[in-house]
């Protein structure tokens, strides 16, 4: 009797011990979460409802209700425009980046000479795509001069112009044509933002068991069919992951965050800046919710 009871007791202890250690392991994160995230988040919310004046004694916070939100949405000259631009930009780029990175992951998964070199190059944007470098690059005069003198820009715009005409004549709707040619023009932006997504898709494709492809080949499926019937459903959970990652990645630094920072640190209007940040956060969560809902309905889980 005793010998049966003893292990059960010690197992209880083990579970408790595990819970205790779990709390200890999570504790550093929890402290940081409270100090550097949760309290700031709450005070950001509080700031957005207040007028803040900074003087030599520190700052005084006075409750003024929704005034900051009203100012951001109706009085501030650039907020509405920049917000819609940034949001539209994110929404437009999501499908492009996800489709492009899935396509490239499939390509990079095939066997060909120089595959490891190609992979190394395609993951390079993970390193290079960062705020400062991208910003400075767009202002580089030497690059602009080189592009102009080599005629690259002229040729490029001519090509998408031709393409546009061709597609419009073929009866594709004007909106779709704009979207496609626009994406051709923004190819560099898309390539440089899809490094991590390619990695995630590639990892996912490699976990698909080869038996599935063998069986489909036996049944006479073409590569195209195998992609839509096997690869696509199997990586569909990762599409969700990648959409979320793309949104999170692109919200962290764009024109709207610049505007928020400017309002806060150049104009020292902390209240207005917090209100803008809150509106921005709400907009981003709306995108994530809608996108997540739409995609998770289509996602296929193997097990």
Partner 1 sequence: MRYSRLVSVEHWKRWVWSFVRLVLIVGLSFLIVYPILQKISTSIKDKEDLYSPIVVWIPLHFTWDNFKQAITIMDYWETLANTFALSISTTILTAITCALAGYGFARLKFKGSNLLFAGVILTILVPPSTILIPVYLNLKDFTLMGLIPLLTGKSANLLNTYWPFLLTALTANSLKAGLYIFIFRQFFRGIPKEVEEAAYIDGAGIGTTFSRIMLPNALPAIITVLLFSFVWQWNDSFFTTTYLATGKVMSVQLASLPYNLSGITDGVSSRSDPFYLSMVQDTGILLAILPLILMYFCVQRYFVEGIERTGIVG
Residues 266-295 close enough to bind partner 1 by CB under 8 A: 270, 273-274, 277-278, 280-281, 284-285, 288
DSSP state of 74: I
In the structure encoding, which two tokens stand for residue 250, read together?
């692109």
CB of 171 to partner 1, least distance (A): 26
- What part of residues 180-219 is at the interface with partner 1 (CB under 8 A)? 187-188, 191-192, 199-200, 202-204, 206-207
CB-based contacts of 237, cutoff 8 Å, min separation 6: 204, 299, 300, 301
Contact between 72 and partner 1 by CB under 8 A: the answer reads: no
Exactly one of 17, 62, 217, 229 binds partner 1 (CB under 8 A); that residue is 17
Stated length of the chain: 303
Secondary structure of residue 164 in the 3-state scheme: helix
Q: Is 296 one of the binding residues for partner 1 (CB under 8 A)?
A: no
Residue 61 is inside which H or E element, if any? strand 58-63
Out of 58, 65, 210, 220, point to the residue binding partner 1 (CB under 8 A): 58
Footprint of partner 1 on residues 90-149 (CB under 8 A)? Answer: 104, 107, 110, 112, 116, 118-128, 130-133, 136-137, 139-143, 145-146, 149
User: First and final CA of the chain: distance in angstroms?
Assistant: 41
Burial 4-29 (b: 16+ CB within 10 A, else e): eeeeeeeeeeeeeeeeeeeeeeeeee
Note whether 47 binds partner 1 by CB under 8 A.
yes
The only residue of 252, 293, 297, 301 in contact with partner 1, by rule CB under 8 A: 252
Binding range to partner 1, per CB under 8 A, among 91-99, 160-168, 209-217, 253-261: 253-261
Contact status: 37 vs partner 1 (CB under 8 A): yes
- Total residues binding partner 1 (CB under 8 A): 93
Taking the least distance from each CB to partner 1, the nearer of 143 and 173 is 143
- Exposure string for 208-232, b = 16+ CB within 10 A, e = fewer: beeeeeeebeeeebeeeebeeebbe
């Amino acid at each position: 009797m005793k010998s049966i009871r003893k292990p059960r007791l010690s197992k209880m202890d083990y579970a408790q011990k595990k819970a205790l250690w779990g709390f200890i392991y999570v504790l550093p994160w929890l402290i940081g979460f409270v100090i550097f995230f949760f309290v700031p988040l709450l005070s950001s919310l509080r700031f957005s409802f207040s007028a803040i004046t900074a003087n030599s004694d520190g700052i005084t916070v006075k409750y003024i209700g929704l005034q900051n939100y009203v100012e951001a949405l109706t009085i501030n000259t650039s907020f509405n425009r920049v917000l819609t631009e940034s949001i539209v930009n994110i929404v437009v780029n999501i499908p492009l980046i996800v489709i492009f990175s899935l396509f490239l992951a499939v390509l990079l998964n095939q066997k060909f000479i120089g595959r490891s070199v190609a992979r190394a190059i395609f993951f390079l944007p993970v390193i290079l795509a960062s705020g400062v470098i991208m910003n400075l690059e767009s202002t580089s005069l030497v690059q602009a001069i080189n592009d102009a003198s080599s005629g690259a820009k002229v040729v490029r715009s001519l090509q998408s112009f031709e393409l546009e005409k061709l597609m419009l004549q073929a009866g594709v709707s004007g909106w779709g044509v704009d979207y496609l040619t626009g994406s051709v023009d923004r190819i560099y932006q898309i390539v440089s933002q899809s490094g991590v997504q390619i990695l995630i898709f590639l990892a996912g494709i490699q976990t698909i068991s080869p038996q599935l492809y063998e069986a489909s080949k036996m049944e006479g499926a073409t590569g195209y069919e195998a992609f839509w019937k096997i690869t696509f459903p199997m990586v569909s959970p990762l599409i969700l992951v990648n959409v979320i990652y793309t949104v999170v990645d692109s919200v962290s630094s764009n024109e709207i965050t610049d505007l928020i920072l400017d309002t806060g640190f150049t104009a020292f209007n902390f209240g207005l800046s917090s209100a803008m940040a809150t509106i921005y956060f709400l907009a981003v969560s709306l995108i994530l919710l809608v996108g997540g809902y739409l995609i998770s309905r289509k996602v296929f889980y193997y097990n």
